[in-house]
A and B are shown apart, each in its own frame.
Chain A
Amino acid sequence: MSAGPYNYSYIFKYIIIGDMGVGKSCLLHQFTEKKFMADCPHTIGVEFGTRIIEVSGQKIKLQIWDTAGQERFRAVTRSYYRGAAGALMVYDITRRSTYNHLSSWLTDTRNLTNPSTVIFLIGNKCDLEAQRDVTYEEASKFAEENGLLFVEASAKTGDNVEEAFLETAKKIYQSIQDGRLDLNAAESGVQHKPSQPGRNNLSNDQQANKDNCAC
């Protein structure tokens, strides 16, 4: 009887950033609803999604903030970086400009989050191989040079979407285990919650054991 997913132990805050139209909202939607939104309107604001996942037997609630990519909102969306435990930085493999802007997104992320924030680079729309404008190799090199995790994914087919979100969580969780991430720091982006029902189970079982012994 593991604790139900509502009885999560941690909350991780994620942000999704990147140029407009790269598919941030579609990635979030794919992750939370396992569906693709073919005509997704521009995000004007910051969308919010949650999902509970399991890492190492721990239930973790992901709180995901999908930001508006339009340049004019850049100043405002900067407010949302604070306290993110994970940052998914997205570009569109069919539009080189979105890749070229990564360094500026990365600068913002580095400036506005804390050093233990896990940054995951996602080359989205990998289903559109024919229109590819950015090679896997160069992006991979960029990721490596900057110490980022990297996958190419498709919000349309769902390829690697789950992986990107889960790997980020694993990495964050690893940081907690290693003590690199201080849970007490207000800006860690991680909150720990006790798993109350687990305790109840424990006492029930002790009860059960006692009974078993008696007969």
Chain B
Amino acid sequence: MLASHQDVFNIVQAKFLAAEVVKSIHLNVSVVDGPSINSDRILALVEYNKSCALFVLISSRSQPISFSDLSIETVIPIDPNFSCETEPGAGQHYVILIIKYKQSRFQYNIEIGKDSCNFAAELIKSKEGSSNTNPNNNTWLEKYFGTMNNSNRNSDPVDQGELVVIRDGMVQGQTAINRESMLKYQLKLKEPEFTQKQEFSIFVGTWNVNGQPPTVSLRSWLSWDENPPDVYAVGLQEIDLSKEAFFFNDTPREAEWQKFVMDGLHPNAKYRLVALARLVGIQLAVMVNNQHYRYVKNVSFDTRGTGLLGMGNKGGVAVRLELHNTSLCFVNCHLAAHVEEFERRNQDYKDIDTRINFRKSPHEIKDHDQIYWLGDLNYRITDLNTSQVKTLLQRSEMNTLLKVDQLNQQKERGRVLVNYIEGDITFPPTYKFDLNSDTYDTSEKARPPAWTDRILWRGRGIHQVSYRSHMDIKMSDHKPVSSLFMSEISVVDPSKYRKVHEDLLKKMDKHENEFLPQVTVDQAEVTFELVKFREPQFKEIIIANTGVVPAEFEFIKKLDESSYCKDWLTIMPFCGSINPGEKCDVKLEVNLETDLETLYDILVLHLKGGKDMFITVNGHCQKSCITQTLSSLVRIQVPIMHLSKEELASALNNQGPIYYSVPRELWLLVDHLYRHGLRTRDLFESCALHEELIRIRDWLDFGSKDQIPGTPQAVAETFLLFLSYTKEPIIPFDLQDSCVAAANNFENCRQLILQKLNDIHRTAFLYICMFLQELLKYSNDNGYDAKTVASLFGDILLRDPIRNSKPQASRGKTNFVYNFLMNDLSSSLIPK
């Protein structure tokens, strides 16, 4: 189960880029003078492009399982500013590594192991190699300064470069949940799946030493039990009553007492100190059996003075840690003295309970899985005088006494230590004794005996095995008290943990993808039936929001295209928003106004912050004489639909004989109007029924023995349509400017027509103009004058390249056509 050095090495390397090579690592390192003496640091020597740096990594678990368990605490470039030396550490297994970088100084306690030599050699090698490198070669480190988990007091050795920030306009659908805390929370919920309960023996001891220096062995207190406990929490009070201790919170007694505590621990096991916290005379040491040390993490402590000015002659100190997956909190307190001051004691307790803050999660005492509360709580026995108490004790009527114990009373009233449990007290009061005796206070004050020294607990899985006092330690006016617990600690099964962890990450990634907008479209391909000229068709697609967030959709342009769809298509609506579970009908309208074989387009339906869907639009088109070129049409003798594929192709390619001087269809329309429409009032102004126009179109395209269907006005409109949709205008685009320029002079106009227009277009143009001249002869009947007709046909015969929905009469174009309405054209037909 123990990860090897190599495993950790690989995990450390994974924390870096491939090109950033981890040369060597050192495990089991702690910060000297750090808030905890937990050896959870890993030193890593990393090289990139000949530049080296020393990384101090913190592992969130004693054995990193993945690189995300590691966070970077400190980055120290190894360049000419870097120097290091060592000093002997505590005991022969430790050495202190002192690193200096410019003004900064870092000290690490290193547990010497078999890899230490390697590490030291590599470090020295890179230091030597650095002497000829440029200290500015450290740019690769900049990114790490940003990630530095800045929990030590050292300032960054290198100025942090601000990286360029580009605002994120692309991604949406993100939720502002803090993923990490979410993960932690979810892990906690799943804890039973990857942990198993294991019983640990926890020894909790408390003793008010009455300001005495340590003189006697503490074995009979701390090693009372047969088997060595797994965890020790030893709380002392009044280790130093001197003014110095009080004002400067500094005392040599701390180390003296701690040595005695360490020496007093169970001889059948080795222990390591997890944390030592002290406030004036209140000291708390937590030790674990060596074999568990690696499963201890997140160690922290805090102290809180109460009483006079809150300065700490009274108050509490607390140490928290995580053992495997269970958070433990030990609180050692010394509450206000004097019989009548129980309210003050309640208040002191509240202050400690609420104001201790570990500055990392879980912050407060109450948030821990298991809490052990010990100390000189100082609650006394009320309403009984010293002799009454002594008498009851002699008669072994402890229960009577315990009923008037202030702590029991206050607790019962919910005034203090609510929800804490205390085991049955079977030992006599532990206060107040004459020094070096088992005799209760015989001094003048003759304080009544009391159970001032107590141990309580709160949390799940805690079983008290014993609760006792230790009468044979007599140097103080208090007797030590201890309790042995068998407590359930959840122990992580690494492989199960990995699985749960991974599953959760997976779920969360999935979750994020679930928050992407999602829609389905009922068809990926829309096919229109035979599409005919100016005969719109509609299709509907249904966009359904199948996701969990509103979907904003929009049809977007493809690369190099000017619009999101071709001009024969209209999409309604082309953008919109759909709520989850709702649908949106999108209407596709196709309206063919050009000559196409087939319709084909791929629409891109874009979801804001999400995917794109392609919708293919297909359709076959029916040919029409309208939308062809004049030069093709004059080569076609029969209705266009009667042609074979080959005939059509050759005509459209302007191959084959020319049969007519003007297109057959043009002649049919003009001839009909000539015979039936000259006297029709407002001939060109009608709005014929759509079906009528379609019938005439089909009559032209398919041919029929019948008369042309429709009123003269409908035929007139078809005539205008025909002229408006020919593939090229009658006066081609490139000639139009010259025509407008020549418009003031008929001769110039005539020359243009003669010289620049090809035969087919000229003939058609003059043919139309002659018909219009004929029409104007019937002005009285049809109501047209030359100006009106010129304006109408100017816009059609010289139509703009881009079709305007509302063509604006152009004076130049009107004038040009006007010339040909007012002058004799017979001479124009024959080139001079």
Could you tell me the distance in whole angstroms from the C-beta of B605 to the nearest C-beta in chain A?
7
Q: Which residues of A contact B303 (CB under 8 A)?
A: 215
Could you tell me the distance in whole angstroms from the C-beta of B299 to the nearest C-beta in chain A?
14
Question: What is the chain A residue whose CB lies nearest that of B17?
Answer: A56
A177-B140, A184-B164 known; A198+B146 contact, CB < 8 A: yes
Contact A79 B558 (CB under 8 A): yes
Question: What is the chain B residue whose CB lies nearest that of A9?
Answer: B146
Contact A55 B164 (CB under 8 A): no
Q: Which residues of B contact A72 (CB under 8 A)?
A: 602, 616
Binding stretch for chain A, among B91-99, B147-155, B484-492, B812-820: B147-155
7-33 of chain A: CB within 8 A of chain B: 7, 9, 11, 13, 32-33
Bound: A72/B146 CA distance, A? 47
Contact A2 B558 (CB under 8 A): no
Contact A50 B147 (CB under 8 A): no
For chain A, give the interface size range: 35 or more
Could you tell me the distance in whole angstroms from the C-beta of B629 to the nearest C-beta in chain A?
29
Contact A212 B35 (CB under 8 A): yes
Q: Which residues of A contact B72 (CB under 8 A)?
A: 57
Could you tell me the distance in whole angstroms from the C-beta of B767 to the nearest C-beta in chain A?
44
CB of A209 closer than 8 Å to a CB of B: yes
Question: What is the chain A residue whose CB lies nearest that of B173?
Answer: A50
Contact B170 A6 (CB under 8 A): no
A5-B180, A58-B143 known; A34+B506 contact, CB < 8 A: yes
Contact B68 A54 (CB under 8 A): yes
Bound: A72/B303 CA distance, A? 72
Residue picked from B249, B510, B559, B613, most chain A C-beta under 10 Å: B559
**Could you give, for residues 29-51 of chain A, a 1 whenever the CB lies within 8 Å of some chain B CB and a 0 otherwise?**
00011100000000011111111
Contact B170 A4 (CB under 8 A): no
CB of B16 closer than 8 Å to a CB of A: yes
Bound: A56/B149 CA distance, A? 14
592-612 of chain B: CB within 8 A of chain A: 602, 604-605, 610-612
Binding stretch for chain B, among A93-101, A126-134, A138-146, A199-207: A199-207
The one of A32, A33, A177 that contacts B17, using a Cβ cutoff of 8 Å: A177
Contact B612 A78 (CB under 8 A): no
A3-B147, A78-B559, A177-B17 known; A215+B249 contact, CB < 8 A: yes
Residue picked from A34, A46, A51, A215, most chain B C-beta under 10 Å: A215
Contact B150 A201 (CB under 8 A): yes
Contact B611 A46 (CB under 8 A): yes
Contact A61 B164 (CB under 8 A): no
Could you tell me the distance in whole angstroms from the C-beta of B586 to the nearest C-beta in chain A?
15
Question: What is the chain A residue whose CB lies nearest that of B312?
Answer: A215
Contact B171 A192 (CB under 8 A): no
Contact B163 A192 (CB under 8 A): yes
Bound: A83/B19 CA distance, A? 25
The one of B153, B176, B524, B614 that contacts A6, using a Cβ cutoff of 8 Å: B176
24 contacts between A and B (CB under 8 A): A5-B179, A11-B171, A32-B509, A32-B513, A44-B524, A45-B604, A45-B613, A48-B610, A48-B611, A49-B516, A50-B512, A51-B509, A52-B512, A56-B144, A72-B616, A75-B558, A78-B559, A174-B18, A177-B140, A191-B170, A198-B146, A198-B147, A208-B151, A208-B359
Chain A residues with a Cβ under 8 A of chain B: 1-7, 9, 11, 13, 32-34, 44-52, 54-58, 61, 63, 68, 72-73, 75-76, 78-80, 82, 170, 173-174, 177, 183-184, 191-195, 197-198, 201-202, 204-209, 211-213, 215
Chain B residues with a Cβ under 8 A of chain A: 15-20, 35, 67-68, 71-72, 139-140, 143-144, 146-147, 149-151, 153, 163-168, 170-171, 174-181, 183, 249, 279, 303, 359-360, 502, 506, 509-510, 512-513, 516, 524, 558-559, 602, 604-605, 610-614, 616
